[in-house]
Structure 1
Amino acid sequence: MKNLKDVKIMLVDDEPHIIQFLELGLMNEGFEIRTASDGINAVNLALDFQPQVVVLDVMMPGMDGWEVCRLLKKNLNNVAIIMLTAKDEVEDRVKGLTTGADDYVVKPFSFEELLARIGARLRNQFPALFSEVSFGPFRLDDRRKEIQYQDRVLELSPTEYELLKYLVINHGIVLSKSTILDQVWGYDFGGEENIVEVYIRSLREKLNDKDHRLIRTLRGAGYRVDLP
């Protein structure tokens, strides 16, 4: 990842050991970090600090993470918010998305997973930080809305482009159909989840992925891109 010195991340959690753990790890990755332990201080700090990414705990005393998320999305021009939730329930995911959250991570989580999701949000929402981004045999150029695979430009529809970009950026992470629908089609999409299967099938054909070695199906869990 490039230009990390230009990337500001704010951590908001009322558990000191989580803040210390994440702050140390992310500073070692080169990010500029600020921290807050409650919602009110988080909002005031964010207005001054202007972070690109906020890692935000849901359950906090006083102002909870949902309200902080709503206020940050209202008052900051462009910010990616990753919610930390203690439970993986559909209601929490929907509530987070409707208040403006961009992604969520369920506790307990690995630092590597959070780092991958931060990188994914930066590439999605701040493409100016990256000209062309390469992942194994893929090269993504978001300004041209173009994806090359093994030096071959893929002929993709706008939705196929967004889906493949999301899968590749999140390579190594299992993505459920509902998560893919939320991130690619939008949380207010009223269609069936099977639309994901249709588009995955089309991408596999264009990638010549007959054996499903590139885009893997994990039965009952979702899809995962495995890069060579």
Structure 2
Amino acid sequence: MKSAVILFPGINRERDMARALEAVTGEKPAIVWHTETTLPKVDLVAVPGGFSYGDYLRCGAIAARSPIMTDVRAKAAKGLKVLGVCNGFQILTEAGLLPGALLRNSGLKFVCREVKLKVENTRTFFTNRMKQGDVVRCPVAHGEGNYVCDADTLKALEDENRIIFRYAEETNPNGATSDIAGIMNMEGNVIGMMPHPENMIEPLHGNSDCRPLFESLLAA
């Protein structure tokens, strides 16, 4: 499986994501600088976490308008799999690849801790090795992870089984609507989530709860 990780100024989790992808798939991802205009031929594009452009204007707002995102949108429209984590989730919503928006955490403070995620949909390219209702540990690190959307969008996400992860056991760290931690687009090839699964895949991380998520990429 070939993959690419997009690198924006201020992003700081690109190495974590690249390490996780290489550890599980056996293929070293291409690192693509944001000013490039064409993606390499890959099966997956990952948009990692961090603080692109210092989170000025809105988180992800500037990065979403970087040159490389034009090709990301074009190839996503043709079925390319795209995974956005934390700031990557914010970038994907700003780019119009996912609905809704990420606002300041309800407590107005940056949150860095472990949460529990409930797997709501196992029929995706990132969860097919999981079981419905599985609860896994996963770290978060964000100040603007409060997912919001209008009532019609929320109904569509619920009805179409497009909510992939919810915060479980009262561990919602940001006040996100309906405890939403991760969603996908209507076509099922674009996924965004706030927690950092790439930081919980090996014993040195404390546990490997999230490794099956990356193993799902191979199965897909």
Does TM, normalized by the shorter one, top 0.5?
no
> Which structure would you say has the larger RCO, counting Cα contacts within 8 Å and 6 or more residues apart?
2
TM norm structure 2: 0.39
TM-score (norm 1): 0.38
Which is helix-richer, 1 or 2?
1
